[in-house]
Structure 1
Amino acid sequence: MKLIGIEEHYLTTDVRAAWEAAALAATDPSVAIYSDEIERRLLDLADQRLALMDETGLDVQVLSLTTPALHEIGSKDAELARRANDAVAEVCARHPDRFQALATLPMGSPDEAALELERCVASLGFKGTMLCGRVGDRNLDHPDLSPVLECAAKLGVPILLHPRTPPAAVRSAYYSGFAPYVDAAFATFGLGWHYDAGIQFIRLILGGTFDRLPSLQVILGHWGEVVLFYAERLAAMDRVSSLKQPVATYLRHNLYVTASGMFSRDYLARAAAIVGTDRLLFSTDYPYQYRQGGDARRFLANCGLDAESKAGFAHGNWERLIESTAS
Structure 2
Amino acid sequence: MTIDVHGHLSPPESLRRYPMPRSLGDADAMIETKLAAGVDLTIIGSPVGGGAMVPLPGVDNYAQTEEELARFHDWLGDLVARHPDHLRAYVYVNPFGGDAHLAAVRARLADDGFAGLIANSSVAGRYLDHPDAADFFALAAETGAPVLLHAPAAPAAGTGLADLMAVEQLGRFADVTIGLACCVLGGWLERHPRLRLIGQGAGGALALLAEKLDRAWSPEHWQRDRGPRPGPATPPLPRPPSAYLHRLWVDTATPSAAAVELALRVFGPDKVLYGTDSPPLPGGSVTEGLRLVDGLGIPETDRQAVREGNARALFGARLPPPAPAPSRA
Q: Is the 8 A contact 1:156 1:215 kept in 2?
A: yes
Q: How many residues align?
A: 297
Matched, 1:86 2:74: yes
Deviation at 1:66, TM superposition (A): 4.3
1:148-189 C-alpha deviation (Å, 9 max, x unpaired): 2211100011111101245689632xx34xxxxxx2211222
Deviation larger for 111-120 or 294-303: 294-303
Query: Structure 1 residue aligned with 2:186, among 201, 204, 207?
Result: 207
Q: Which amino acid aligns with 1:150?
A: A
Q: Counterpart in 1 of 2:43?
A: 62
Matched, 1:53 2:34: yes
Secondary structure of the residue aligned to 2:249 is: strand
Residue segments in structure 2 that go unaligned for 5+ positions in a row: 53-59, 220-233, 321-329
Q: Counterpart in 2 of 1:43?
A: 25
Q: Is the 8 A contact 2:144 2:195 kept in 1?
A: yes
User: Residues 146-295 of structure 1: matches in 2 within 5 Å?
Assistant: 146-166=134-154, 171-172=159-160, 175-176=161-162, 183-189=163-169, 191-240=170-219, 242-253=236-247, 255-260=248-253, 262-292=254-284, 294-295=287-288
**Which runs of at least 4 in structure 1 moved beyond 6 Å after TM superposition?**
none
User: Residues 128-139 of structure 1: matches in 2 within 5 Å?
Assistant: 128-139=116-127
Q: Is the 8 A contact 1:278 1:313 kept in 2?
A: yes
Q: Which amino acid aligns with 1:318?
A: A
Deviation at 1:312, TM superposition (A): 0.8
Q: 2:138, 2:241 → 1: CA distance? A: 21
Q: 2:97, 2:185 → 1: CA distance? A: 24
Q: 1:237, 1:70 → 2: CA distance? A: 35
Deviation at 1:286, TM superposition (A): 0.4
Supply the RMSD in Å over aligned alpha carbons.
2.6
How does the TM-score come out when normalised to structure 1?
0.81
Percent identity, aligned pairs only, is 25
- Structure-2 change in CA distance of 1:135 and 1:263 (3 Å): closer
Matched, 1:124 2:112: yes
Q: Which amino acid aligns with 1:306?
A: P
Query: Structure 1 residue aligned with 2:296, among 300, 303, 309?
Result: 303
Q: Counterpart in 2 of 1:321?
A: 314
Residue segments in structure 1 that go unaligned for 5+ positions in a row: 21-30, 177-182
Q: 2:181, 2:292 → 1: CA distance? A: 29
How does the TM-score come out when normalised to structure 2?
0.81
Deviation at 1:63, TM superposition (A): 0.5
1:269-291 C-alpha deviation (Å, 9 max, x unpaired): 11011011000100111023334
Q: Which has the larger radius of gyration?
A: 2
